[in-house]
Structure 1
């Protein structure tokens, strides 16, 4: 992929133009990342009120009792977005969905244990243990480059 930058003193707002012969996964991902809808932080609700959490600080996002929760090194908080909406806005190079109810930060994975029965135990930083669904194994392997 070639990248070109053009400086125009009359330009009021930056504009990104992608010229391609076909829309590939790489192009789609690039458009998603550059979209103004992509997330770099999220509002989280705790018993103390609202706090802003940087996306890179999230260890995992999961559902429990019909609530969407985010876990960081500082604890757990609730977010008002649906899990699938968060997944759409997160960078797939940083986050991977491991089950219907959980998305994890790839950078926070410390160990993956694949058993003979096909289940995958996932250990995250902070000694957090969770499991990946067999249904998501191929997607996980693809995103992790396995």
Structure 2
């Protein structure tokens, strides 16, 4: 089955920080790949690591990372600010 997406841009002078919203009937593998690609693009630009605390997104400086480990098939990242989860695999995180 061919996976198709529509991509658009809306200019909004009141929006000071870019916002990305993905609309879909459910969260598919394609949606997850799009989210990961955007996160990696933003984190590379800022030289930060994208981490999660629940649904809240955090951009963490790599020098603040204390340790990384897996727990119940999830990648956990301990930093000076607290414990976070990464959507990357350990192999992706290391590169």
Bigger Rg over Cα: 1
Q: TM-score, normalised by structure 1?
A: 0.32
Return the structure number with greater helix share: 2
Q: TM-score, normalised by structure 2?
A: 0.48
Return the structure number with greater strand share: 1
